[in-house]
Amino acid sequence: MQVSVLGLGLMGRPMARVLRAKGWRVKGWNRSTLSPELLEGIPCLASLEEAAQAEVLLLMLSDSAAVDAVLERLEPYLRAGQVVLDMGTSDPAHSRRHAQRLKARGIGWVDAPVSGGPEGAQSATLAIMAGGEPADYERVRPILEALGRPVHLGGPGAGHTAKVINQLIVGLTIEAVAEAIALAERQGLDPRKLQLALQGGFADSKILQIHGTRMIERRFVPGARVRTQLKDLRLAQALAEQAGLELPHLQSALRFYAELEAAQKGDLDHSALFLRLVP
């Protein structure tokens, strides 16, 4: 199958390269102009009309608004038999609406957001949470398996619901690790030795080891940005409100990330929540 990757950001670029390396016919498109160095190895298309010729339209866009905008421009060129595969993080309600509208034209929809960051994209080890009709999911499953470990969770919107929950866990764990590293430093412990001491125990996690190192080094080059984490936590808050749940730790994480964005730190890695505790 031909695949057009729409959105060549931090995640879209390595995903496109992995698919090409595994034999898929992949071309890319991006809303803004990117430097040739960033696009090395990815043949790019000049227009959405050209991108729409592929059998699978893989969206790796920043948020629901971006998906809505790109789909509005893309849909006039789509035809029955194609599948739109949304692998960014968006509002599940938007996914259900898109799926219903496209289904009426014979076009499939699968929402399959990912977790694992650029590192997971490069190594094809992404955790992939998929929602969509079973037949549509089966059509794109080989693509998903080339990128990581997909699990089909249910109908349209189920993948994005799972990703919002994933981001809730990530955001709250970053807050917990930030507090732990801050306390360790103030108590005179070497935080790197603390990471080693906790390795393999119940307190261990990728966030402790990877994001914790970013906190220790005060190195916040973005893998995932503060503003993206804030957007995802706001989606989690909306889902919790719909479900009638009060999630108190979510509220504190939301406040910290909102304060970082207000302080013009929205483009830092989301581990920069640490800066709200230790300047």
Active site members: 163
CA nearest neighbour of 90 among 140, 161, 141? 161
CA max distance for the chain: 63
Percent of the chain that is helix, strand, coil (3-state, to 5) = 55, 15, 30
Single out the residue of 18, 97, 106 nearest to residue 58, CA to CA.
18
Q: Is the Cβ–Cβ distance between 51 and 29 less than 8 Å?
A: yes
Bridging pattern class, strands 25-29 and 2-6: parallel
The DSSP call for residue 30 is -
Nearest Cα to 86, choosing from 59, 52, 117?
59
